[in-house]
Amino acid sequence: MADTSPGWELYRSFLAVVREGSLSGGARRLGLTQPTVGRHIDALEASLGVGLFTRSQGGLSPTDTALALVPHAEAMAMAAETLQRVASGEAEEDRGTVRLTASEIIGTEVLPAILARFREKHPRIAIELVLSNRSDDLIRRDADIAVRMIRPTQSSLIARKCGVVALGLHAHRRLIEEMGAPQSVEEIGTYPIIGFDREPSIRRLGELGLVLTRDLFTFRCDSDVGQFAALKAGFGFGICQYALAKRYPDLVAVLPGAITFELDVWIAMHEDLKTSRRMRLMFDHLAEEMGAYVREQTPKAAGKPASK
């Protein structure tokens, strides 16, 4: 009797559309044409006898049935990747591709040099880097290994803590020479402050103990890279990692004893990847290098503030 159950290619397109929210987005993700992905979705719905998406001006929204199918389809995706690794013989060789995910600031300011040193030792391993703060990138299999500032809680992940990175208020030396620096937390609001635009990001600062309102920010940007660029340009006072500021001689810590908070640094990967040599090589390299990074954290404190 012939097997008429839907094939993996249909579920692969299904997952891509769920993640991207549209046929066109799913097609781009997979490198297929939109009509092909559309046919896959139609065929899957016909085979299962249920509708999987509702259409709206905003794109495609998964139905409750579709959402229930997602974890099972993701399990199929992981199995397919494992089969591919075994078949290609890459599991025990230092070649192939490793896909990483990290926050914007870590991905642009810290990882490039770390990854360059990895390439020198393992030139046959290609590296892909996704800049994202999503905590579920590994579970969704959007990446192989993640550098995260929060402890991974999913049981299917292998994680290693690299240390703790401290953050505090900083400013460009030129700005401090021009305006002076606040002598207390209460004075901060009288200086130009670099901060976030949207409320969820501002609330994150409150959770870390720095209670500020949007109106206090004279430069508003939800991108960490954008904020850091403004900080280096001398636009205002902003939050920065001490280890990162140490690499820029003109960035000076302000009120380091009064405004300092910490974030854990973790390296994580899906447990299914632990048998892959290239994944282990990258995982261990990142853990060692990020551990060295967090040890670079002696703040360069501002001297006695000049009068405004």
What's the sign of the alpha-carbon dihedral 110, 157, 95, 31?
Answer: negative
18-27, 63-72, 75-84, range with the lowest pLDDT? 75-84
Q: Residues 96-162+264-294: name the CATH superfamily.
A: Periplasmic binding protein-like II (3.40.190.10)
> Which residue intervals of the chain bear CATH 1.10.10.10?
8-87
Question: Which region among 79-93, 188-202, 269-283 has the lowest average model confidence (pLDDT)?
Answer: 79-93
What is the distance between the alpha carbons of residues 125 and 98, in angstroms, rounded to a whole number?
7
Residue 132 neighbours by CB under 8 Å, 6+ apart: 101, 102, 103, 142
Amino acid identity, residue 101?
A: T
Residues 141-192 pLDDT 10s: 778 999 999 888 887 889 999 999 999 999 999 999 999 999 988 888 899 9
Beta carbons within 10 angstroms of residue 179's beta carbon: 18
* Host H or E run for residue 84: helix 64-88
Mean pLDDT in residue range 257-268: 87
12 close to 30: Cβ distance less than 8 angstroms: yes
- With beta carbons less than 8 A apart as the criterion, state whether 258 and 184 touch: yes
Class of domain 165-262: alpha beta
CB-based burial of residue 243 (10 Å sphere; 0-12 exposed, 13-18 middle, 19+ buried)?
buried
Looking at residues 192-219, what average pLDDT do you find?
74
- Region 8-87: CATH code: 1.10.10.10
State the span(s) of the chain assigned CATH 3.40.190.10.
Answer: 96-162+264-294, 165-262
- Is residue 289 scored above 80 in pLDDT? yes
Q: What is the pLDDT of residues 53-76, one digit of tens each?
A: 988 777 788 999 999 998 888 888
- Beta-carbon contacts of residue 288 (< 8 Å; ≥ 6 apart): none
**Distances, alpha carbon 296 to alpha carbons 40, 170, 234, 242, 261, in Å:** 51, 16, 23, 8, 16
Question: Is residue 238 within 8 Å of 105, Cβ to Cβ?
Answer: no
